[in-house]
Amino acid sequence: MDKAIVFTHNLLAENFAKTCHGLLRGTERFEILSVIDAAHEGKDAGTILNGSPLGIPVYSSIAQFFKHSNERPEFCIVGVAFPGGVLPEDCRKELLAAMDHGLSIICGLHHYLSEDPEFQSSAKNNKVKLIDIRKPRPVPELHFWTGEILEVTTPVIAILGSDCAVGKRTTARFIMEVCRSRGIKTEMIYTGQTGWMQGYSHGFIFDATPNDFVSGEIERVILECVDVSKPDLILLEGQSSLRNPSGPCGSEFLLSGNAKGAVLVHPPGRKYFVDMEELGLQIPEIEDEIELIQNYGSKVIGVGLNEEGCDMGQLRSVQRTISKKMNIPVVLPLTDGVNKIVDGIQTFMNQ
């Protein structure tokens, strides 16, 4: 694996750093050596993530990393999602410093560093690369939906959420790991930039794909996965949520991806969609969201609860209520794991 450090710009403990969080939880593409975050200097990145040390130190700056570490990474990964996908001006200095130390930059923002004159000049002078993984692929490489997916017999399960940044990708990874531990040959299809960074074999970046081709690209990667990896089960990483008005998403996975099963991740501690508090736009009740998914012809196999904004007593109360009312397993993935959901998946696969 290539060695890398992750830049989080004082946001390591925030949802904005979910790319970094995903890399800390596991990646087959990179060996993560350190996180660069002045707000958490001197700590272990794992302690910030979930209270469990990972042996990955946090340094205040690129300069401090190279001063104190004997490791020599090849890449610096931008591990945060900034509002609007634009790189803040006060981040430039650190990334340029990384390039001066011979590191190529991997960025998943809509701000393409490879088209930024200052970064272009630095990359040329330092003989390093600027890798913008959110940059759209050329149109001739994209695909329209053909219907071939309707011939696929491998079960496809979409991991959806009732809002953004609730843990869809993390829950999908947990499910994949448990399925594999039970001997189920499982592949997870990534649909975001973090999934690519984590090294999954199949996928595409949803929000770097022109809308005309989204359905076709979902179909393409599933067909590719079936042909190349021949899995027993395919998990589809969801994006956003079905009714988030700033970027609704989900029906594509259920319809174009022909996902007949779904797992829903829900944040009971949130009343409003992320960043829409002032507009008063409320997240629908989970029972209503489950009904909507089932109206697409997909079975909701289980629910994962995001723990943000709730104490354990509140979470357990919500867990009991939903499980009893909907008669499906409800878990706290970070606390309970996902074994009960995988039990439901195995039942679903055998039907």
Query: CATH no. for residue 80?
Result: 3.40.50.720
> Average pLDDT for consecutive 10-residue bins of the chain (351 residues)?
97 96 97 98 97 98 97 98 88 97 97 97 99 96 98 99 97 98 99 97 96 98 99 98 96 99 98 96 98 98 98 98 98 98 98 88
Same domain? For 307 and 212 the reply is: yes
What is the per-residue DSSP string for 117-164?
HHHHHHHHHHT--EEETTSPPPGGG-----SGGGG--S-EEEEEESSS
Q: Which residues pair with 158 in a beta bridge?
A: 236, 262
Percentage of the chain beyond pLDDT 70 is 100
Can you give the pLDDT at residue 82?
87
Instruction: Indicate the pTM of the whole model.
Output: 0.95
Can you give the pLDDT at residue 83?
78
Query: CATH no. for residue 192?
Result: 3.40.50.300
Same domain? For 256 and 312 the reply is: yes
The number of distinct structural domains making up the chain is 2
Domain that holds residue 124: 2-132
Same domain? For 125 and 11 the reply is: yes
Same domain? For 149 and 295 the reply is: yes
**Cβ neighbours of residue 277 closer than 8 Å, sequence gap 6 or more:** 271
What 3-state class would DSSP assign to 304? strand
> Is the Cα torsion angle 260, 204, 162, 160 positive or negative in sign?
positive
Can you give the pLDDT at residue 85?
83
pLDDT digits (tens, 9 = 90+) for 99-132: 999 999 999 999 999 999 999 999 999 999 999 9
Can you give the pLDDT at residue 84?
78
Same domain? For 51 and 74 the reply is: yes
* Cα–Cα distance for residue pair 122/25, rounded to 1 Å: 32
Domain boundary among 132, 155, 186: 132
Q: In what order do the strands lie in the sheet with 2-7?
A: 58-59, 30-36, 2-7, 75-78, 104-107, 130-132
Domain boundary among 110, 132, 154: 132
Closest to 162 in 3D by CA, of 287, 333, 298, 257: 287
Q: Are the C-beta atoms of 197 and 29 separated by less than 8 Å?
A: yes
* Cα–Cα distance for residue pair 294/287, rounded to 1 Å: 11
Can you give the pLDDT at residue 59?
99
Same domain? For 201 and 295 the reply is: yes
Q: Are the C-beta atoms of 301 and 341 separated by less than 8 Å?
A: yes
CA dihedral 100, 103, 106, 111 (to 10 degrees): 10
Same domain? For 156 and 178 the reply is: yes
Same domain? For 279 and 150 the reply is: yes
* Cα–Cα distance for residue pair 18/21, rounded to 1 Å: 5
Q: Distance of CA 51 to CAs 46, 94, 146, Å?
A: 6, 27, 47
Same domain? For 216 and 169 the reply is: yes
> Is the Cα torsion angle 174, 177, 183, 188 positive or negative in sign?
positive
Domain boundary among 111, 132, 153: 132
